[in-house]
Structures are given as C-alpha cells and as structure tokens.
Amino acid sequence: MKARQKRLVFVGLAILGIGAASTLAITALKSNISYFFSPSQVLANEAPPNHVFRLGGLVTKGSLIRQPDSLTIHFDVTDNAKTVKVIYTGILPDLFSEGKGVVTKGKLGADGVFYAEEVLAKHDEEYIPPEVASTLKTAHVEGVTNAATPSNGASK
C-alpha cells in the first residue's frame, strides 16, 4: 500500500469515527431534552403524550394539599388562563410557595394530572423563570383580547 492510499484510508476512518460520535451525541441529547409547556398548551393537547416535559406557571393560591404521613403533595399550576393539577412526591425546594412561579418536570397522566418528578422554584422575590414570564404575558394578552371582544362576535 502506498503512502497516499494509507492517508486516504486514515482520513476515511477519521470521518467515519466523527460521524459515529456525532450520531451518538445527538441521540443522547434528544433523549434528555424536555420541552416547556404552559397549562394552556397542555390542556390544548400540545404537550407530547407519554414523554417527559416541563410545565411552568404560578402555583395557585389555596391549592397546596399535603398528604398526611407522606411526601406526596398536590397543587395546581396556572398561567392565569388555564390550570393543571400536579402531584409530586418528594421534598419541595425551600422557595416553593403558593402564588409564586414554578417549573415542574414530569409526565401527563391519562387522568389529566401532571405527575412531577422534579420541582424547581423561583430564586428570589422578584424572579420568575423566563418561560413562566412569557407564558403569563401571553395568557394576559389573550385574556385582555377575549375580554375586549363582545360576546356576540361583533367588533367595536
């Protein structure tokens, strides 16, 4: 085998190796991606069924229920337009509270309840996760638009 042929074989194997490594990396990343959805999007069936995703919004005041002698907690997450019931078993972050921003990660059950495997709370009094702020802003604009439109469908 000539030196030129050896180099071509080496370059070919290098390209093949890089391609295989890239394919493995992309496959691993796809399995770890979890998309963000608001309660309105979840109830509009935009969230993927039987896949892990993030649900974000505000914890509805008065919705927090702790099961006695258990780490299971029930609460509602809202984007001020729609509300989704959430069940989480585990220790909540110290900053978790009603009326504050939250992002949960888990799956939507066939019963319409979101079963969270992870709960993330806000950082300080003023902070709302960017996804939650965007969702609340969108829900507010849609709510204002719907409220401004007369119910009989006629425009002003």
Cα–Cα dist 98/81, whole Å: 17
Q: Residue 146 CB: number of other CB atoms within 10 A?
A: 10
- On whether the pTM is more than 0.85, the answer is no
**Region 36-148: CATH code:** 2.40.50.140
Is 35 known to sit in a ligand binding site?
no
Bridge partner list, 115: 87, 107
Contact yes or no for 136/58 (Cβ under 8 A): yes
Q: pLDDT value at position 150?
A: 47
Q: How high is the pLDDT of residue 24?
A: 87
Q: Which pLDDT value is given to residue 151? A: 44
Please indicate if the annotation marks 140 as binding a ligand.
no
Q: Of 104, 85, 83, which Cα lies nearest the Cα of 93?
A: 104
Structure tokens at 118: 């992870």
Q: Which two tokens stand for residue 102?
A: 């939250």
Instruction: Provide the mean pLDDT of the chain.
Output: 80
The confidence score (pLDDT) of residue 87 equals 94
Q: How many whole angstroms separate alpha carbon 141 and alpha carbon 29?
A: 34
Q: What's the pLDDT at 117?
A: 92
